[in-house]
Amino acid sequence: MKPVESSKQTILIVEDEPQLANLLRDYLEKSEYRTRIIHNGLQAVSAVRDFAPDLVLLDLMLPGKDGVSVCREVREFSKVPIIMATARVEEIDRLLGLEIGADDYICKPYSPREVVARVKAVLRRSTDHPSDAPTGLVLDESRFLAEWKGKNMDLTAVEFKLLKILARDPGRIYSRSQLMDRIYDDHRIVSDRTIDSHIKKLRKKIFSVVEDEELIHSVYGVGYKFELKPPGEGEGSQTVAIHP
Protein backbone atom coordinates (compact mmCIF):
# COMPACT_ATOMS: atom_id res chain seq x y z
CA MET A 1 0.00 0.00 0.00
CA LYS A 2 1.32 3.41 -0.86
CA PRO A 3 1.70 5.72 2.12
CA VAL A 4 -0.69 8.58 1.57
CA GLU A 5 0.92 11.21 3.75
CA SER A 6 4.12 13.23 3.60
CA SER A 7 7.66 12.01 3.48
CA LYS A 8 7.63 10.70 7.06
CA GLN A 9 9.36 7.38 7.50
CA THR A 10 7.24 4.48 8.66
CA ILE A 11 8.27 2.23 11.54
CA LEU A 12 6.52 -1.10 11.93
CA ILE A 13 6.36 -2.08 15.59
CA VAL A 14 5.93 -5.82 16.13
CA GLU A 15 5.36 -6.17 19.86
CA ASP A 16 2.84 -8.31 21.72
CA GLU A 17 2.70 -6.18 24.88
CA PRO A 18 0.15 -3.50 23.94
CA GLN A 19 1.35 -1.01 26.56
CA LEU A 20 4.93 -1.23 25.43
CA ALA A 21 3.89 -1.02 21.78
CA ASN A 22 1.86 2.12 22.50
CA LEU A 23 4.72 3.69 24.43
CA LEU A 24 7.09 3.09 21.52
CA ARG A 25 4.51 4.49 19.13
CA ASP A 26 4.18 7.68 21.20
CA TYR A 27 7.93 8.26 21.35
CA LEU A 28 8.47 7.49 17.68
CA GLU A 29 5.61 9.72 16.58
CA LYS A 30 7.03 12.53 18.72
CA SER A 31 10.20 12.09 16.71
CA GLU A 32 8.24 12.56 13.47
CA TYR A 33 7.98 8.94 12.44
CA ARG A 34 4.78 7.31 11.28
CA THR A 35 4.06 3.99 12.99
CA ARG A 36 2.10 0.80 12.57
CA ILE A 37 1.64 -1.75 15.33
CA ILE A 38 1.29 -5.51 14.98
CA HIS A 39 0.83 -7.64 18.11
CA ASN A 40 1.14 -11.07 16.55
CA GLY A 41 4.04 -12.82 14.84
CA LEU A 42 1.71 -14.42 12.32
CA GLN A 43 0.74 -11.07 10.82
CA ALA A 44 4.22 -9.58 10.86
CA VAL A 45 5.48 -10.77 7.46
CA SER A 46 2.39 -9.69 5.55
CA ALA A 47 2.46 -6.37 7.42
CA VAL A 48 5.98 -5.76 6.08
CA ARG A 49 4.67 -6.45 2.57
CA ASP A 50 1.57 -4.29 2.99
CA PHE A 51 3.03 -1.28 4.78
CA ALA A 52 6.49 -1.36 3.18
CA PRO A 53 7.95 0.20 6.35
CA ASP A 54 11.30 1.99 6.41
CA LEU A 55 12.30 0.04 9.52
CA VAL A 56 10.93 -2.84 11.59
CA LEU A 57 11.16 -3.04 15.36
CA LEU A 58 10.79 -6.74 15.95
CA ASP A 59 10.30 -8.43 19.31
CA LEU A 60 11.86 -11.88 19.62
CA MET A 61 9.17 -13.58 21.70
CA LEU A 62 5.85 -13.27 19.93
CA PRO A 63 2.67 -15.29 19.82
CA GLY A 64 2.09 -17.17 16.60
CA LYS A 65 5.55 -16.88 15.10
CA ASP A 66 8.81 -15.92 16.80
CA GLY A 67 10.98 -13.00 15.75
CA VAL A 68 13.71 -15.21 14.27
CA SER A 69 11.28 -16.84 11.81
CA VAL A 70 9.71 -13.48 10.98
CA CYS A 71 13.14 -11.97 10.31
CA ARG A 72 14.18 -14.87 8.07
CA GLU A 73 10.96 -14.71 6.06
CA VAL A 74 11.20 -10.96 5.61
CA ARG A 75 14.78 -11.31 4.38
CA GLU A 76 13.54 -13.53 1.55
CA PHE A 77 11.97 -10.51 -0.12
CA SER A 78 13.12 -7.33 1.63
CA LYS A 79 16.23 -5.57 2.88
CA VAL A 80 14.26 -3.31 5.22
CA PRO A 81 16.33 -2.50 8.35
CA ILE A 82 15.28 -4.67 11.29
CA ILE A 83 16.02 -3.99 14.95
CA MET A 84 15.36 -7.03 17.08
CA ALA A 85 14.44 -6.76 20.75
CA THR A 86 15.25 -9.55 23.17
CA ALA A 87 14.61 -10.02 26.86
CA ARG A 88 18.05 -11.40 27.65
CA VAL A 89 21.44 -10.04 26.74
CA GLU A 90 22.80 -13.61 26.30
CA GLU A 91 20.24 -14.08 23.54
CA ILE A 92 22.00 -11.53 21.39
CA ASP A 93 25.10 -13.71 20.96
CA ARG A 94 22.99 -16.65 19.93
CA LEU A 95 21.03 -14.52 17.46
CA LEU A 96 24.22 -13.10 15.96
CA GLY A 97 25.40 -16.68 15.46
CA LEU A 98 22.22 -17.56 13.60
CA GLU A 99 22.90 -14.84 11.02
CA ILE A 100 19.26 -14.08 10.57
CA GLY A 101 19.96 -10.73 8.97
CA ALA A 102 18.80 -8.25 11.62
CA ASP A 103 20.59 -4.89 11.52
CA ASP A 104 20.75 -4.27 15.25
CA TYR A 105 19.77 -5.84 18.55
CA ILE A 106 18.41 -4.18 21.62
CA CYS A 107 17.95 -5.65 25.05
CA LYS A 108 14.80 -5.39 27.14
CA PRO A 109 13.99 -3.64 29.35
CA TYR A 110 14.91 -0.61 27.26
CA SER A 111 13.97 3.01 27.51
CA PRO A 112 11.86 4.29 24.62
CA ARG A 113 14.45 7.06 24.17
CA GLU A 114 17.11 4.44 23.59
CA VAL A 115 14.91 2.75 21.00
CA VAL A 116 14.36 6.03 19.16
CA ALA A 117 18.12 6.66 19.16
CA ARG A 118 18.76 3.20 17.71
CA VAL A 119 16.08 3.68 15.08
CA LYS A 120 17.69 6.95 14.00
CA ALA A 121 21.15 5.39 13.92
CA VAL A 122 20.07 2.39 11.87
CA LEU A 123 18.12 4.54 9.41
CA ARG A 124 21.09 6.89 9.06
CA ARG A 125 23.37 3.95 8.40
CA SER A 126 21.10 2.55 5.75
CA THR A 127 20.75 5.86 3.94
CA ASP A 128 24.43 6.83 4.33
CA HIS A 129 25.49 3.93 2.17
CA PRO A 130 23.27 4.13 -0.86
CA SER A 131 25.68 1.90 -2.77
CA ASP A 132 24.67 -0.98 -0.49
CA ALA A 133 21.05 -0.57 -1.47
CA PRO A 134 19.56 -0.87 -4.93
CA THR A 135 18.89 2.60 -6.29
CA GLY A 136 16.16 1.59 -8.65
CA LEU A 137 14.73 -1.43 -10.35
CA VAL A 138 16.21 -4.90 -9.93
CA LEU A 139 14.85 -7.77 -12.00
CA ASP A 140 15.89 -11.33 -11.21
CA GLU A 141 14.64 -13.70 -13.85
CA SER A 142 15.60 -16.89 -12.02
CA ARG A 143 13.05 -16.07 -9.33
CA PHE A 144 10.72 -13.78 -11.31
CA LEU A 145 11.58 -11.25 -8.64
CA ALA A 146 11.10 -7.54 -9.32
CA GLU A 147 12.26 -5.09 -6.69
CA TRP A 148 12.21 -1.33 -6.47
CA LYS A 149 14.82 -0.07 -3.98
CA GLY A 150 14.62 -3.40 -2.22
CA LYS A 151 10.84 -3.59 -2.13
CA ASN A 152 9.28 -6.59 -3.82
CA MET A 153 6.58 -5.87 -6.39
CA ASP A 154 5.10 -9.37 -6.16
CA LEU A 155 4.59 -9.83 -9.90
CA THR A 156 3.12 -12.77 -11.76
CA ALA A 157 5.27 -14.41 -14.44
CA VAL A 158 3.50 -12.50 -17.25
CA GLU A 159 3.78 -9.17 -15.44
CA PHE A 160 7.45 -9.85 -14.78
CA LYS A 161 8.11 -10.62 -18.46
CA LEU A 162 6.30 -7.47 -19.56
CA LEU A 163 8.29 -5.31 -17.20
CA LYS A 164 11.54 -6.95 -18.24
CA ILE A 165 10.90 -6.42 -21.96
CA LEU A 166 10.07 -2.76 -21.41
CA ALA A 167 12.82 -2.06 -18.86
CA ARG A 168 15.58 -3.61 -20.97
CA ASP A 169 15.31 -0.74 -23.38
CA PRO A 170 14.16 2.41 -21.58
CA GLY A 171 12.44 4.91 -23.85
CA ARG A 172 11.74 2.37 -26.61
CA ILE A 173 8.07 2.18 -27.53
CA TYR A 174 6.53 -1.25 -27.94
CA SER A 175 3.21 -1.86 -29.63
CA ARG A 176 0.76 -4.27 -28.04
CA SER A 177 1.39 -6.88 -30.70
CA GLN A 178 5.16 -6.64 -30.23
CA LEU A 179 4.65 -7.25 -26.53
CA MET A 180 2.31 -10.18 -27.24
CA ASP A 181 4.85 -11.70 -29.65
CA ARG A 182 7.51 -11.60 -26.99
CA ILE A 183 5.37 -13.03 -24.24
CA TYR A 184 3.20 -15.71 -25.80
CA ASP A 185 4.32 -18.49 -28.09
CA ASP A 186 0.95 -18.47 -29.79
CA HIS A 187 -0.58 -15.04 -29.63
CA ARG A 188 -3.73 -15.98 -31.53
CA ILE A 189 -5.10 -16.92 -28.11
CA VAL A 190 -4.79 -13.41 -26.71
CA SER A 191 -6.01 -9.98 -27.73
CA ASP A 192 -4.76 -6.41 -27.32
CA ARG A 193 -7.05 -6.18 -24.35
CA THR A 194 -5.11 -8.94 -22.60
CA ILE A 195 -1.93 -6.88 -22.78
CA ASP A 196 -3.77 -3.81 -21.58
CA SER A 197 -5.17 -5.64 -18.62
CA HIS A 198 -1.76 -7.10 -17.67
CA ILE A 199 -0.20 -3.64 -17.98
CA LYS A 200 -2.93 -2.21 -15.83
CA LYS A 201 -2.28 -4.73 -13.07
CA LEU A 202 1.46 -4.30 -13.42
CA ARG A 203 1.18 -0.52 -13.04
CA LYS A 204 -0.95 -0.96 -9.96
CA LYS A 205 1.70 -3.16 -8.37
CA ILE A 206 4.46 -0.74 -9.36
CA PHE A 207 2.43 2.09 -7.90
CA SER A 208 2.29 0.25 -4.57
CA VAL A 209 6.09 0.34 -4.14
CA VAL A 210 7.34 3.21 -6.32
CA GLU A 211 6.38 6.30 -4.45
CA ASP A 212 6.58 9.22 -6.79
CA GLU A 213 7.00 8.21 -10.37
CA GLU A 214 5.45 6.29 -13.19
CA LEU A 215 7.73 3.63 -14.70
CA ILE A 216 5.47 2.48 -17.52
CA HIS A 217 4.02 5.12 -19.78
CA SER A 218 1.31 4.65 -22.37
CA VAL A 219 1.99 6.20 -25.72
CA TYR A 220 -1.37 7.16 -27.13
CA GLY A 221 -2.42 5.08 -30.10
CA VAL A 222 0.86 3.16 -30.16
CA GLY A 223 1.66 1.17 -27.06
CA TYR A 224 3.89 1.40 -24.03
CA LYS A 225 7.36 2.38 -22.94
CA PHE A 226 9.45 2.23 -19.79
CA GLU A 227 11.10 5.37 -18.50
CA LEU A 228 12.78 6.47 -15.30
CA LYS A 229 12.84 10.00 -14.01
CA PRO A 230 15.82 11.75 -15.68
CA PRO A 231 18.88 12.26 -13.45
CA GLY A 232 18.90 15.60 -11.68
CA GLU A 233 15.27 15.41 -10.67
CA GLY A 234 14.68 14.27 -7.14
CA GLU A 235 17.29 12.57 -5.02
CA GLY A 236 19.67 11.26 -7.68
CA SER A 237 19.67 9.00 -10.63
CA GLN A 238 18.04 5.60 -10.62
CA THR A 239 19.20 2.43 -12.21
CA VAL A 240 17.91 -0.73 -13.79
CA ALA A 241 19.68 -4.02 -13.11
CA ILE A 242 18.55 -7.18 -14.88
CA HIS A 243 19.91 -10.54 -13.74
CA PRO A 244 19.41 -13.58 -15.92
Residues that bind Ca ion (CB under 5 A): 16, 59, 61
Find out whether 144 and 138 touch, Cβ atoms under 8 Å: no
* Choice between 16 and 140, CB closer to Ca ion: 16
Q: Which helix (H) or strand (E) holds 177?
A: helix 176-183
Query: Cα 159 to the chain's mean position, in Å?
Result: 18
CA distance 169 to 187: 22
Nearer to Ca ion, 61 or 107 (CB): 61
Nearest-angstrom CA–CA distance, 93 and 37: 27
To Ca ion, the closest distance from the beta carbon of 75 in angstroms equals 20
Rounded least distance, CB 42 to Ca ion, Å: 14
Residue 15 beta carbon to Ca ion: minimum distance, rounded to whole angstroms: 7
Among residues 159, 189, 154, 210, which one has the least CA distance to residue 2? 210
Whole-number Å distance between alpha carbons of 52 and 50: 6
Distance from C-alpha of 96 to C-alpha of 127, rounded to nearest angstrom: 23
- Nearer to Ca ion by Cβ, of 54 and 59: the residue is 59
The closest residue (CB) to Ca ion is: 61
Of 77 and 105, which CB lies nearer to Ca ion in the complex structure?
105
CB of 63 to Ca ion, least distance (A): 8
